[in-house]
Amino acid sequence: MKNLLIFIILCINFVNFINSSDQYSTKSLYHIREDITPDLDEKFSLYIDILSRHGIRQPNKNRLLHLITLVKKLNYYNRMMHYKPKEIFPEPGNLTKSGRKRIRKIAESIKKMFPTIFSKIDNLKQCPKYHIFTGKFKKRQIELKDIVYISTSIQRCIDTSREFYNVFMGQDEHTYSIRDDLLRFTKHCQKYIDFENNKKRVEIEQSKFARNHVTDIKQNIIETLDLPSDFQFSDVDIDTIYGISGIEIAEFGSSIWSDHIPNSYLNKLSYYDEISTYWMLSKAFQVNYLQACILLYDFFERIERIIMLHKQGEPHTLLTVRTAHDTTLVPFLTLIGYFDKAKKIIAENWDNLKDYRKFNTSQLFPFSANVMIVLFYDGQYRLKLIVNQNYVKWPNLHDDLFSTIKKHFTTKYGKCIWSDVCDL
């Protein structure tokens, strides 16, 4: 029965959705750069720090429960009778089969970007203690401990980390550390947890936007399902259908809901979703993103240690892989200034932003979205910023020297003392 349901999902309206997998906000499909080639400066790379969102996951328990309730309402009118959410999504919140597969493909693609670093790591697969020579002809060792894996305590992140580990290390014995303090700071920052203005503003802006732009979407679904004209969909119902559609398309390639949300509506629903992300996690309020400074400064501390060891000709970490959530990546990119020039995501800005907007969660924060910070040495220590495998300029900076970058952020944010940032 389960296989039949999956087959139905794969077959229904595949054509309509084949080119729309990147319009589902944070439930969009990441486009893997399989034809990527190394940058010209890659040979100077010393260290890679990867911050990745988890791969494709099943809906969380709350979203699944809402979907089940909605389907029961539709069943009353003999609609969606063969759609069984619990059978399609038996493990709420967990990484999916396609999610695992695509993480491995992304890892292979990242390896192509940095053959210098990964050739050293490949040698570790043959010999746990691999001897190389520095420019000073001093012999030193690289060991397995020089590859670091950090995850949140959430299973889908641990499983994502394991897939990276299998590709990068060629081993199944996944070793990692749990650092919720670094990667789930939104669950630990009390000032953020107790903050109410962001929640209130989300409610105001989403309600305003829904009145003007979601009503016609509700009506379209009522008509295509041939429901009574007095049937009522809530805004949460529509957002649930939209989110589930994104997950099904990412996982199966198509969605049974495809007849009911035409492509022309996807951008509106993405914007509706972005209102929440913008006001809850981005530059709308300082508390949203300042809590990410603990993560930024951890990057700096590790890089400083690597630079010190490199100068001494001593072994240093080659790679750090951090697996986390969109609630990690959004504040982090906001903190480093990525959205400084982005216009506000508010209801009244829709007409100005519908064709292009800097704060576009479908493009920036799909499943498996990633940010890489890479340390290079070409006589000077430089940091390259890479977002979803695309090199980008450091916001508000004129060069990529590590000393310049660190000075810029320490001047802007000070010492980033957690108690100052997050204690009430």
For the sheet with 370-377, list strands across it: 177-178, 147-151, 319-324, 45-53, 370-377, 381-387, 390-392
Look at phi and psi of residue 290 and say left if phi exceeds 0, alpha if psi is from -120 to 50, else beta: alpha
Cα within 13 Å of Cα(122), Cβ side? 9
pLDDT for the residue 142:
55
Structure confidence by residue, pLDDT tens digits, 200-241: 999 999 999 999 999 999 999 999 999 999 999 999 999 999
For all residues of the chain together, what is the average pLDDT?
91
Q: Which two tokens stand for residue 257?
A: 């809901």
pLDDT for the residue 146:
76
Tell which residue, 48, 371, 28, has the closest CA to residue 183.
Answer: 371
pLDDT for the residue 144:
61
Beta bridge partners of 384: 374
pLDDT for the residue 21:
72
pLDDT for the residue 40:
83
Q: How far is the C-alpha of 155 from the C-alpha of 325, rounded, in Å?
A: 12
Q: Which residues of the chain have pLDDT under 70?
A: 1-20, 124-145
pLDDT for the residue 121:
87
Element (H, E) at 324: strand 319-324
CATH for 2-422 (1.10.3720.10, 3.40.50.1240, 2.40.110.10, 3.40.50.620): 3.40.50.1240
- Other C-beta atoms within 10 Å of 151: how many? 27
Q: How far is the C-alpha of 318 from the C-alpha of 46, rounded, in Å?
A: 7
Structure confidence by residue, pLDDT tens digits, 385-412: 999 999 999 999 999 999 999 999 999 9
Structure confidence by residue, pLDDT tens digits, 114-156: 999 999 888 766 665 545 444 444 444 556 667 999 999 999 9
Backbone angles phi, psi at 376, to 5 degrees: -115, 155
